[in-house]
């Protein structure tokens, strides 16, 4: 699995954790707001000009997220990041180490 695909998987896990706690994620379906955020994040990752050489989005010199979406994804990551160690430990460690 390449870097972009791992990032996509990680962001999907984080959004699912966030939605489940805040919006009542049910039957494998995100709420409308979280689904829109996930679609946007996946699109941004697909279009990343750095490809497999990308760093984490936080340390990227180019901020490709709209300000409102950047604020939303930051809230998701603040909440879900610590919980990733419990729900998806391998993905969390890879993300922390920048792999």
Which tens digits make up the pLDDT trace of 43-64?
A: 999 988 877 777 666 667 777 8
Q: How far lies 99's CA from each of 19, 37, 38, 39, in Å?
A: 25, 23, 21, 23
Q: According to the model, what pLDDT value does residue 57 have?
A: 67
- Please say whether the beta carbons of 49 and 14 come within 8 A: no
Percent pLDDT > 90 in the chain is 43
Query: Tokens representing 70?
Result: 């950047």
Q: According to the model, what pLDDT value does residue 1 have?
A: 67
Total-model pTM: 0.84
Which tens digits make up the pLDDT trace of 6-25?
A: 889 999 999 999 999 898 76
């Amino acid at each position: 699995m390449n870097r972009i695909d791992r990032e996509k998987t990680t962001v999907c896990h984080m959004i699912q954790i966030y939605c489940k706690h805040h919006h009542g994620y049910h039957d494998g379906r995100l709420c409308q707001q979280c689904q829109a955020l996930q679609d946007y994040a996946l699109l941004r990752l697909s279009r990343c000009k750095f490809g497999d050489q990308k760093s984490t989005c936080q340390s990227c010199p180019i901020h490709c997220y709209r300000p409102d979406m950047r604020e939303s994804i930051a809230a998701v990551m603040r909440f879900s990041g610590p919980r990733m160690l419990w729900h998806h430990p391998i993905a969390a460690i890879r993300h922390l180490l920048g792999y």
